Structures are given as C-alpha cells and as structure tokens.
Chain A
Amino acid sequence: MPTFVYMTRCDGCGQCVDICPSDIMHMDSVVRRAYNIEPNMCWECYSCVKACPHNAIDVRGYADFAPLGHSVRVQRDEEKGVIAWRIIFRNGEKDMTLLAPITTKPWGQAIPQLADEAEPSQEMRDSQHLYNEPKYIRLDDGGLHTLESNGLKLKEGVYY
C-alpha cells in the first residue's frame, strides 16, 4: 500500500488526486475510483486521508516492518478548526483518541492583502526592513539588529 482506498466508500471525487504531494493518488480508468499507483513513494503523510470527504482512504503500515492489524484514523474539520485522531494498537490494548486545534482564525481572513498596503517609501526600500518591520520583530519600539547595534564586528576571514 501504504494508503489504499475502500471500493465501497470512494465515489471518485478526485480530492485525494488533487492534494497528494507525491503525485501517486490516481483514478483507475476501469472502476473510476482512486488508488495509490506507487506505494513505495508514499510518505504516509495522510494528506489524502484528511482530504477525502468519504473517509474512503486508509493506511496499512509499510510491509517491510509493520505487522497487520493496527489502525490510525483521522478527521480534520476545517470549520471547527480541529483535527481528531484515533489510534488502535494491534493487540487492542490501547485505543486512544486525541484532539488538536489546526487554526485559531477563519481560513485566509487574517492574512493581509499586501497589494492594499501603502506603497513603501524609498527609505524603507533602501533599508534592511521587511514588510511590517521593525514593529513585527519585537512588537515594541526596538529596531532591527545590526552588527553595530549589537556591538559586533566582523572578524577576519580565515583563508588557507
């Protein structure tokens, strides 16, 4: 495998194909459902698993070292901004549920539209500052660090 797709759950929507960073989730032209075309280039990154709207994708650990019979399932909810995991051990002795936040703000809205910002002055352009600096470096009045401001000077290069 390591990812595989349950035949009865997949409806061929293509979301996994769209997201896989390794370009290995593809549509089977006969059954019109997704599958992993190159398991030995899969990182078990779970990007496709999280993207699938029907929970049709699962992972079976790498055959070279992982015995059968375990389960690590995930649900990622963008609206609520949380991700939920369930881990079940092979021997059934451990069954864990873990929850974590994925974002604290609604998607995209907190990101500034830089095209709408005031044009940077020539002085800013000539300086070493980046956007929103120096304010964003320390969030106080402190400016950018330079060698002089920090009492440093270049020691001679070693050249053999």
Chain B
Amino acid sequence: MAFKTIIEDGIDILVAGAGLGGTGAAFEARYWGKDKKIVIAEKANIDRSGAVAQGLYAINCYMGTRFGENNPEDHVRYARIDLMGMVREDLLFDMARHVDSTVHQFEEWGLPLMRNPKTGAYQREGRWQIMIHGESYKPIVAEAAKKSADKVFNRICVTHLLMDESKPNRVAGAVGFNVRTGNYHVFKSKAVIVAAGGASNIYKPRSVGEGAGRVWYAPWSSGSAYGLLIGAGAKMTQMENRIVLARFKDGYGPVGAYFLHLKTYTQNCNGEEYESNWWPQLQEMVGKEYLDPEASHRTHRPIPTCLRNHALINEVNAGRGPIHMITMEAFQDPHLEEIGWHNFLGMTVGQAVLWAATDVDPKNENPELTTSEPYVMGSHATGCGAWCSGPEDISPPEYFWGYNRMTTVEGLFGAGDAAGGTPHAFSSGSFTEGRLAAKAACKYIDDGKAEGIRVTDEQIERRRAEIYKPMEHYRVYRNEITAGSVNPNYINPRQGLDRLQKLMDEYCGGVTVSYMTNEKLLNIGLKKMKIFEEDLEKIAAENIHELLRAWELKHRHLTSEAVMQHTLFRKETRWPGYYYRGDVMKVDDENWHVLTVSRRDPETGEYTMEKAPCYHLVEA
C-alpha cells in the first residue's frame, strides 16, 4: 500500500493522547525541559478531543485549601471509603496536594469559574466539586499544550509503543498511523507519557442501533491507555474495578449537580425513599466498616457510590422501578432551573435533546434515572490503570521505583485514566497527574536513564506490517464474495465490537445480567476471548477510517481481557453495585484487602496475577 513512512526522531518526551492528562503533561514538560523536544500524538483534534470534548459544568476535584476548605488527606479518606478501601493513597495524596494549583491556573487562563457571592470562594457543588462554565474547558487547556509542545500531530492513532532493543523493558517511542492520510508515523522518543483515555463500549450499551453512540463515556474512548500499556507488558492494577453510573435514563445526563447543588433526591415508583431499606442486608455483605449509615449521617462520611447503585439496581429488580429524580420542587426556582439546563448544555447536550424530544420538562415532571452499562476508566469513581511508581517523599518501597507515575516499563509514564489506583482525580486531577508525570519524565532523561536507546528498522517494519494488515486482509479476501459484509474469511470492526460487547455483557457482569458473574462464567468468557483474539487477526478494514476502528477494537479487546482476568482473580464482591461475583457474594477483607496486579506477557499473551499490599496513609 502506498502509505508514506514519516519518522520523527530525537524526541525527548512523547505525549500519546492529549485529553486532560496529556495536555497537562505537555504543558508542564516545557517548564522542566526547556530545551527538550516535546511532541504530542493525538487521535483526534486536540482542540476537542477526549472525554471533555463537549465540556464540563463542574471541576470535580478541588481541595480549596486556600479557602480553608479541605486538605489532601481529607480527599484520601473520601476516595478510600468510596472505593471500599482499595486505593493507592500515595498517588492520591500527591495528586490532591497539587490539584489546587492546576485549578488556579485554569482560572487565570480564562476558564470561567463561578464564585459564591457570600464567601468569595469558588461556588461549591459538593464538598469536592466546584462549578464552572466549562463549555470551552478543552479548547482552553489545549491552548496551553499547543504553546508548550514543539509539534502537535493531530489525527494520529497510536497503535503500539516502541521498545528499546539495547535494554529490555525500556520504552523507545511509539508508532501509529494518520487516520486521514493513512501515513505510517514513527516517533522515536526517550520517554513516553500515555494519556490515551479509558474505555467505553467494551460492554453492550443500553442504547441500540443508531443510538449506540449514546454512551456515558465518549464512544471514542477506546481504552487505548490500557491497550498500549498492556501490549507493552506494563503491570496493571484494579482492572476489575469498573464503574456503573446512575444517570438520567437514555440521555446519561449527569446527576452530580442535581443531587449536590440543586438538592434533588430520588424515589421509587410509589414515591417512597428506598435506599435505606437496602442498608441492613447490604451491611451483612460488606461489613460495618464500609457501610454504617448512622456514622455516615453523623460524620457526613458519604455512602460509597457503588452501594448506592446497589440499592437502585435491587429496587428496580424488586419491581419498584422506575426510580425518579425529584426535580419538580427545585425547578420551581428559575435560577435553579437554569442551572439544571446549563448543566447538560455544558457537558451532555444529548440529555437536553432527549427531554426536548420527549416533552419531559423537569419542572413539571420528575425524570427517570437508571444505571448505565459498565465502563473502565481510572480517573472517575474507579481506579483501573497501570501500576505506577509514587512520589519519593510519600511512597513505601513497594510503591516506589524512582520516578513519579512511571509504570513498570522504564521511561513509560501514565496519567489520567492510564494511572491505576487513583480514582476521583477527574479532569483537574488528570491534568495534575500529567504535570507530575512530565516533571518525572524530564528527571528520568536528565539522570541519563534513556541513554543508548536503539530501535531497529526491523521493529519499525514489523509494526508497519501489523498495522496495515486489516486493509491487506480486506484486499485479499474482498472479491471472494459478491457484495455485502458477510465473508467467511473476516469480520469487520463493527461486527467485532458487537461480539466483544456481547461477550463482556454476558460473561463479565454487564447490564443484561444485572452485573452478575461468577468463576464459571468468567472461565468460559476468557476462553471465548482467546478465540476472539484469533479472529481479530483476521479483522478487515475497507478504508482508513475502518482501520482506525479496527485498532480501537484491538485496544478494547486487551482492556476487556484484563478486566476478565482481574475479576476472576479477586474472589469476592468488593464493589456491590459495580459488579457481583455470584459465587462469593461478600466483601472478604481477610483475604482481599489488597490491590490486584496483573501482567500480560507480550509474547505469549499469558497472564500473571499477584496481590500487592494496600497501605493506608491516614487514620480513618
């Protein structure tokens, strides 16, 4: 095929994926590495890419130390209880102690932050959330990254990381292709910061047909942050900890501002409060340590998100759905009504479209809520991602191997969804993690750790052949059939995605089985996953756009397999409401108060699983 090979050599820091994590990394890298060559490779257009493409109405992670509101350790306590104990507290504390400086800069750059007219502090939506007019959040942070990088390559789908051939387990750059020209791009780089985002669409969504793109996390979030790292043999953690979200039905409109700022609440179909009915039964499952409604009430310690999902799911299964969000009271106040609508327009326009289309005016009618299909991401209320080193002044030895946010592959860093065990970072925390990773990557290079990197033409050619194989496969087998998409020699990316979603849904606790799975199901699922992997070798791409979808699917596949392996390994139900292991329906702190760590052998595809200690930095 007549695609050119374009080699970008002598890069110091390559940022793969420039959403919130990647823009933070590119920005900060310029300060610590003034003379360094910083390059961004982004799948879409950096101005509107990633989860924040359409904007956000709140920054969900801000301490407000400046206003005497919270300290980093408070945030660690909060994230820890929300995740049923399982977090990397060193990484969380580190993110939290820097995040305010990120937010203060955003304001200086022109992001409109709302202020509380009485106190002068930022307008709080909840204890950790502040309200913004964030429609242009992404273009603003993109400006910062563009000003800092030497070059920005838009529309490059990064498919693989390059590995150093003079030293095992050291990164040497990345390769990919331009989704518009088809050209093959090679980036030789001393360090790589992966911030390519979490995974939507690995589970069968509730939406079907034309609407299949209406998922909670953006449909272009292809799990590349995980696919790239797993493919390079980096260790991953907490991949079983996927998230299910309670959202407005069909539109997936956010509920945070509704609950926290507009003071709306939920009821079952009979107009009753239902959550507390489920606490006694649930307390037996998870123990008083994780669910103590009385103490929660006294101390304002929140009830973990997953447990609130559990109540919603079970109430619906008991035949008392739908669950309604009671908006009719709050919306009588015109100011609150306006905030309610802006909340969607600033970040989930589809919800406004839905209500306009179905004549649901939340002022006169209480809208329905439901739970979403599961997602895999490491920056929201979940901690999936790479097993990364922490900062030197906080981390215990098991968590520290020299450079902050460096994965177990040398010179390879992660931020945002890519970094594991750091939930509740959200947008501001992801940007902050990018900054932390960038400083550490500069240090790694200055310490001479990236000397003598070698990438042979053989490696570059091998990857080239691999990348275009789906197009080659299509060319060879296309004419065996008359017309249409049914071919005995291949499946196309959409057909592959449908298969993956069905597999994950039915065997790994998706929405059609009420988030239930067990060891038997997982073992069958893993077997089918291996066969699916064989078929992925025969995926066919009719054009470059389909080639993009083919590689997204391959990254989704690697992500999904890791989710299954982790779910099988952790023999307990740690997060009821996110998923259930039907064969072990209890939290088992005695055996499983640990972080799970996996590694996929890049050569054989074999998984090794281990337990890692869960250190607590602060008293509860």
Contact = CB atoms under 8 A, between A and B. Distances in A.
Interface stretch (B161-169, B271-279, B339-347, B374-382): B339-347
A63 B210 contact: yes
A128 B356 contact: no
Contacts of A136: 100-101, 104-105
A133 B104 CA distance: 11
B110 A120 contact: no
A29 interface: no
B247 interface: no
A89 B207 contact: no
Given A94-B361, A160-B611, A130 B147 contact: no
Chief secondary structure at chain A's binding surface: loop
Contact of B65 (A1, A62, A142): A142
Given A21-B48, A147-B394, A100 B209 contact: no
A21 B593 contact: no
Given A43-B54, A100-B345, A155 B45 contact: no
Given A1-B210, A21-B220, A67-B357, A130 B143 contact: no
A130 B435 contact: yes
A159 B397 CA distance: 14
A68 to B, nearest CB: 8
**Most central of A74, A88, A120, A138 by chain B CB within 10 Å:** A138
A8 interface: no
A137 B594 contact: no
A37 B549 CA distance: 13
Interface string A88-117: 111101101010111111111011011101
B208 interface: yes
Nearest to A105: B110
Given A94-B361, A130-B439, A137-B98, A103 B31 contact: no
A108 to B, nearest CB: 5
Contacts of B603: none
A131 B31 contact: yes
A39 B613 contact: no
Interface string B330-357: 0000000010011001100110111111
Interface residues of A, number: 89
Contacts, number: 288
B480 interface: no
Contact of A42 (B97, B213, B615): B213
Given A98-B345, A160-B590, A131 B28 contact: yes
Given A145-B71, A154-B396, A160-B594, A131 B435 contact: yes
B325 interface: no
A20 B154 CA distance: 12
A77 B104 CA distance: 25
Given A140-B66, A144-B97, A62 B214 contact: yes
B30 interface: yes
B345 A85 contact: yes
Contacts of A46: 54, 349
Interface in B460-480: none
B356 A137 contact: no
A30 interface: no
A26 to B, nearest CB: 8
Contact of B350 (A39, A43, A103, A138): A43
A145 B97 contact: yes
B457 to A, nearest CB: 30
B133 A110 contact: no
Interface residues of B, number: 99
Given A65-B354, A114-B31, A44 B593 contact: no
A19 B346 CA distance: 18
Contacts of B30: 114-115
A115 B53 contact: no
Contacts of B207: 62, 64-65
Interface in B135-180: 135-136, 139-140, 143-144, 147-148, 155, 179
A38 B546 CA distance: 11
A145 to B, nearest CB: 4
Given A45-B218, A89-B359, A130-B435, A18 B45 contact: yes
B430 to A, nearest CB: 14
A100 B617 contact: no
A49 B589 CA distance: 50
B135 A102 contact: yes
A155 B616 contact: yes
A2 B615 contact: no
A103 B136 contact: yes
B250 interface: yes
A138 B69 CA distance: 11
A104 B617 contact: no
A133 B65 CA distance: 14
B445 interface: no
Contacts of B349: 44-46, 59, 72, 74
A125 B443 contact: yes
Given A45-B54, A94-B361, A110-B109, A152 B147 contact: no
Contacts of A39: 210, 213
A84 to B, nearest CB: 10
7 contacts: A64-B208, A64-B211, A89-B361, A90-B356, A104-B110, A138-B100, A147-B617
Interface of A: 1-2, 18-23, 26, 37-47, 59, 61-72, 74, 76, 83, 85, 87-91, 93-94, 96, 98, 100-108, 110-111, 113-115, 117, 119-120, 125, 128, 130-133, 136-140, 142, 144-147, 150, 152-160
Given A62-B210, A98-B341, 7 more contacts: A19-B47, A89-B356, A90-B358, A100-B346, A102-B133, A119-B34, A125-B446
